Amino acid sequence: MNSRRHFLQGSAGGLALLTVPGWMAGCAKPVAAVAPVVAPPPVVPPPPHPFFAWFGVDEAMLASLVGELGKNGATFADVYLQHTRTVSIGLEDGIVSSASASIDQGAGLRTVIGDQQGYAFTEELTPEAMRGAAATAASIAKATAVVGPQAFTLHTPGQALYQVAVPWSEVGIDQRLPILRAVEAYARAADPSVTKVSVNWSDSEERVLVATLDGRIHVDTRPMTRLWCIVTATRNGQSVSNSANLAGRRGLEWYDDANLRMLAKDAVDRTLVLFDAKRPPAGEMPVILAAGASGILLHEAIGHGLEADFNRTGTSIYSDMIGKPIASEFVTIVDSGVEAHTRGAIAFDDEGNPTEYTRLVEKGILRSYLHDQISARHYGVKPTGSGRRQSFRFQPIPRMRATFMENGPHTREEIVASVKNGIIAETFTNGVVQIGAGDYTFYIKNGWLVENGKVTAPIKDVNIIGNGPDSLRKVTMAANDSKLDVGGWTCGKDGQGVPVSQGLPTVLVSSMTVGGVNG
């Protein structure tokens, strides 16, 4: 049952006039006219945010829930309300092979005492269910009760990080399906060897409300979409496959003809080049990481090691390295929540903290970790807006958003020319990383051989093996072409998946182990 607050207001006005009795009029001196006194207008409270009605709550209920979370004591506490609507479509060889729509909705309630967390969630947004979850979460504490907020301050996103022309909830299937068919048509027309095309689509619209013990309410609407094209081509009895995808916090207007053609072309080009690609020689050699998608290596091998929970527990190799040099002076690594329309963009994190542009490594010096509220309190710093969760079913933990290296002082051409024998890693698929030490293995789907300073031949089926901190120290050149990849990356950690972005300029790592052909 929805619980709403109704405000009644009236208005009253009056004026007072100074008059003179008739018998005094003859002897009275002229008196200046007195302006009427008008009562000030009544104070009208702002209307409640539409999300209150959407979730069936009001400020009184939120105050009650937060108060329940703090009844046994709390360092901080929050109520997280979420409603997500998702649409998915699959097109295979011109036929719609799958289509689905789903809604997920619920509330997560959390009490934090120091490093301890009590957490409960409910898929029922009734007062009874949410109060029961709040009581469960609060049961971890046995301290002095904390008084909840008497009033809230409402915060709405101040940055247009992901505004769309038309909300996804107002877009029909008849507007989505022609986009999939256009991508398929462009891919098939690109080359006669293309024998199979699959196109997969997803879009979602997420509504979030976070109410905190210190009296803040944050609300946000977060759009997301991804379009994926998978191509199979056959020549002389040999079949090869590859793919490309576009993703971001975007609306329907993003899928214009230019982007659809680009997606189809990338998928076909990445596939056809495999006919001529060979495995490179194996061994230790210089590796050039191509701009954009190579950021996955930065994300996995280095970024996770800078998440504060791994450092707070001493798991990460970077736990005692704040203020110390860990890379060349031209290396600056950032994790940002304010890169507009990227998958990692968030106006505020899932604890209600504002997001930011966080310099993790500045001119080679380690400056910061990625903090949620618990780690920030532990280190005595402000949260970096990095407390994220997959959904209301999970507690927030420190996570990356959009992780990338800023421009370096070199050019791509200079980097290629400096390599006598090595490879370029261009697109990646599988990777395995040991978070603590930073040891990694990545599989390169597309790449190039570099011989005597020139790109000579395509390569495929290559593993690169190394250690994140060691590879960072071996970055000897970085170009001025840094860019974020537009693919649909999802980061997994502690059983939770969240959308992220990553990027890199063209970078030279002086030595990596390449798993190619021996002899």
Mean pLDDT computed over 462-471: 93
Over 60: is that where the pLDDT of 25 sits? no
**pLDDT 10s digits, 412-434:** 999 999 999 999 999 998 778 88
What pLDDT, on the 0 to 100 scale, is given for residue 519?
A: 46
- With contact defined as beta carbons under 8 Å apart, do 89 and 200 qualify? yes
Please, what's the largest Cα pairwise distance for the chain? Answer: 125
Q: Where in the chain is the domain with CATH 3.30.2290.10?
A: 50-275
The CA distance from 315 to 492, in Å, is 17
pLDDT tens string 318-366 = 999 999 999 999 999 999 999 999 999 999 999 999 999 999 999 999 9
**pLDDT for res 148:** 85
What does pTM read for this prediction? 0.88
Tell the residue number behind the tokens 């990481």, with chain if given. 289
DSSP for 331-343?
--EEEES-STTST
Q: How far is CA 147 from CA 68, 241, 320, 456, 458, in A?
A: 9, 60, 37, 69, 65
Tens digit of pLDDT for each residue in 251-298?
999 999 999 999 999 999 999 999 999 999 999 999 999 999 999 989
Percent share of the chain, pLDDT over 70: 91
The answer to whether residue 7 scores a pLDDT higher than 70 is: no
Q: What is the dihedral angle through the alpha carbons of 514, 454, 475, 292, rounded to the nearest 10 degrees?
A: -90
DSSP string, 352-393: S-B--EEEEEETTEE---B--HHHHHHHTS---S-EE-SSTT
Residue 361, CA distances (Å) to 232, 366, 370 in order? 41, 4, 11
pLDDT of 204 over the 80 cut: yes
Coil, helix or strand at residue 355: coil
Cα 63 to Cα 288: distance, rounded to the nearest angstrom: 55
Q: Is the pLDDT of residue 62 over 50?
A: yes
Angle (CA) 357-358-362 rounded to 5° is 120
Q: What's the token pair of residue 477?
A: 């050149």
At 221-247, the pLDDT tens digits run 999 999 999 999 999 999 999 999 999
Residue 483, classed as helix, strand or coil, is: strand
Alpha-carbon torsion (234, 235, 239, 240), positive or negative? negative
Statement: 50-275 belongs to CATH 3.30.2290.10: yes
Residue type, 82: Q
What was the pLDDT predicted at 40? 65
Are the beta carbons of 193 and 235 closer than 8 angstroms? Answer: yes
Cβ atoms within 10 Å of 454's Cβ, excluding its own: 10
Give the up-direction half-sphere exposure of residue 428: CA atoms within 13 A in the CB hemisphere. Answer: 28
Amino acid letter, residue 219: V
Q: Sort 85 into a burial class: Cβ within 10 Å, 0-12 / 13-18 / 19+.
A: middle
For the segment 176-201, the average pLDDT, to the nearest whole number, is 98
Structure tokens, 457: 């031949």
**Which of the pair, 125 or 141, is modelled with greater confidence?**
125
Can you give the pLDDT at residue 453?
97
Q: Which of 231, 240, 247, 245 is nearest to 198 (CA)?
A: 231
Tens of pLDDT, residues 8-20 = 233 333 333 323 3
Residue with tokens 């860990």: 326
